[in-house]
Amino acid sequence: MKTVLVTGGTGFVGANLVRCLLDRGDRNVRVFVRESSDRRNLDGLGRDGAVEFCTGDLRDRASVSRAVRGCQEVYHVAADYRFWANDYKELHESNVGGTRNILEECLARGVDRVVYTSTVGTIGLADQPRPCTESTAMDPHQVTSHYKRSKIAAEKVALELARRGLPVVIVNPSTPIGAWDRKPTPTGKIIVDFANGKMPAYVETGLNFAHVEDVAEGHVLAAEKGRVGNRYILGNHNLTLGQFLEIAACKIGRTAPKMVIPYPVALATGWLSTVWADLVTHKEPGVALEAVRMSRRYMYFDSTKAVRELELKQRPIEDAISDAVDWFVANGYFDRMQDEPRRRKAWLFL
């Protein structure tokens, strides 16, 4: 039975990946965690010895070396994903330096297979809303965030190590939706804020959505079938944010917001909010400027390559949103309000 290492296993995608690996039954799973990591997403999974926790930090080469030792397969999922930080060097140290540490250790220890989790943020976008592929070149003007810069640099590290002989495959998840989004992610926060009545309007943009369980399984398929040094988009359905909110509204029981915020207004709000955070509060802004800039283009993608070469599954996006809503409700993020639209209509006739 092989030993598998997962970095970022307590996070959203990582927790689903750990479950996917355990369901296959042929692996012992080692999860690399920081001392301060919230491990609730993996509660109960280590009781029978199937999950082993290894404490350390990606920036600490010695702890990385201990984690990789004895592993035949490594999934490097961990990343510092933020649109704002007090010190953006932290993103580079974790996402680039940490990636180099773990991939070089994998090469030195002769790991059989490595899957590196990148992002569709490293793939270029079209001027007009149309799906882009792994081969779409990135325009430098589209690099709008420190996070994106760090992931582009980290992907270059992975490709460099592939040329040096590391059997690494790169996966580029789009926007995963589903259970175990504890933090939650920016997209999960959209669902939570909307359900709690904190989203009366939105900035129209376009995203590619996928069920997080399909994304997790896509990692395992990449290890089994992916070509070394290749990138694979793990995605599914392209939707505008308005369309996404309409589906979420049906699952939650609220009326979807109809007001669209003009991009210049959102940009000004993001700038003011971020400047206030930088100079005064030193806490995450309510509206991050980098997030607004990212919404400028429609982030549509085509995952045909992953479907063809990896046999990636693509469940309906309605199932992904339904599973996310069910998980958020079960964990107290909000209550389902099936009667809310009907009550609103009744109020109009009073």
Q: What is the largest CA-CA distance in the chain?
A: 73
Axis-axis angle for helices 146-163, 98-108 (nearest 10): 20
232 is catalytic: no
Q: Please, are residues 327 and 181 in contact by the beta-carbon 8 Å criterion?
A: yes
Range list of H helices, 123-172: 146-163
- Of the residues 75, 81, 116, 147, only one is catalytic, namely 147
Structure tokens at 322: 């339904």
Q: Please, are residues 222 and 310 in contact by the beta-carbon 8 Å criterion?
A: yes
- Distance CA(278)–CA(280), nearest Å, equals 6
Backbone angles phi, psi at 293, to 5 degrees: -60, -35
Q: Please, are residues 239 and 207 in contact by the beta-carbon 8 Å criterion?
A: yes
- Distance CA(9)–CA(12), nearest Å, equals 8
**184: preceding bond cis by omega (within 30 degrees):** yes
Partners of residue 28 on adjacent β-strands: 3
Question: Which residue, 290, 301, 6, 286, is CA-closest to 147?
Answer: 290
DSSP string, 64-105: HHHHHTT-SEEEE------S--S-THHHHIIIIIHHHHHHHH
Residues annotated catalytic, as ranges: 147
